[in-house]
Amino acid sequence: MPRLKIGVLISGRGSNLQALIDAAAASDYPAEIALVLSNQPNAAGLGRAARAGIPARAIPHSSREAFAAEADAVLREAGVGLVALAGYMRLLDSGFVAAWRDRLVNIHPSLLPAFPGLHPQRQALAAGARFSGCTVHFVRAAVDTGPIIAQAVVPVLDADDEDTLADRILAAEHVIYPLSVRLFAEGRLAINGNRVTIAGACAPDGRLFNPRDAAVGPLASSGG
């Protein structure tokens, strides 16, 4: 069975791109990265692609429409069947979003619909949330909206600042993005309105408490 070709759009560091590269290195992973595009010529993620031998190019962001037109053309030429936004920091042209509907996914470092937009970790701390996390979702026109594929939850600790919370969330991102792309590539996702159903999914059991439920055990000293 041929592997699904994915195109990854980045703007910077590319640690989620790296997680996808690492996942796709396994011979039983059902997707391969065919192309990496960046709107920033100096994005560190372009180096990650080059080291992995993946075609990569920067498309300078002259205008939203021009970027979208060129990205669309090269993604199609590369035979891409799924576009994954991985720290792509610009709004996408609405025509591009419509053209790739249900074949365009994003990762965001909060439990959407909470804290969309910029600085979601800062928003979570400011709101006093005791849990945050990350979300992989299909992309719709409005920023950080669309049917949710997967989420991971992390606790917010009393001692957290934006960086420590971002690091804890990022480690979870690197798990759920490759997982979500796998589920898409295996044809296991069905979109019904805002809801995604997943064939053969295993949901976790139980509940999470922060602070921990006394019945679960004593509070860990680091557990907040």
- Picking from 83, 90, 68, 74, the residue whose alpha carbon sits closest to that of residue 11 is 90
Contact between 107 and ligand GRF by CB under 6 A: the answer reads: yes
Contact between 144 and ligand GRF by CB under 6 A: the answer reads: no
Does residue 43 contact residue 58 with C-beta atoms inside 8 Å?
A: yes
Indicate which single residue of 31, 37, 59, 108 sits in contact with ligand GRF (rule: CB under 6 A).
108
> Taking the CB of residue 116, how many other CB atoms lie within 10 A of it?
15
Count, residues near ligand GRF per rule CB under 6 A? 12
Contact between 170 and ligand GRF by CB under 6 A: the answer reads: yes
Cβ at position 8, least distance to ligand GRF in Å: 9
| Piece of the chain touching ligand GRF by CB under 6 A; list 11-19, 68-76, 195-203, 205-213 | 11-19
Give Dmax over CA atoms of the chain in angstroms. 58
Contact between 48 and ligand GRF by CB under 6 A: the answer reads: no
Burial call 173-203: b when 16+ CB within 10 Å, e when fewer? bbebbbbbbbbbbeeebeeeeeebebeeeee
Contact between 146 and ligand GRF by CB under 6 A: the answer reads: no
Interacting residues toward ligand GRF by CB under 6 A: 12-16, 86-87, 107-109, 170, 173
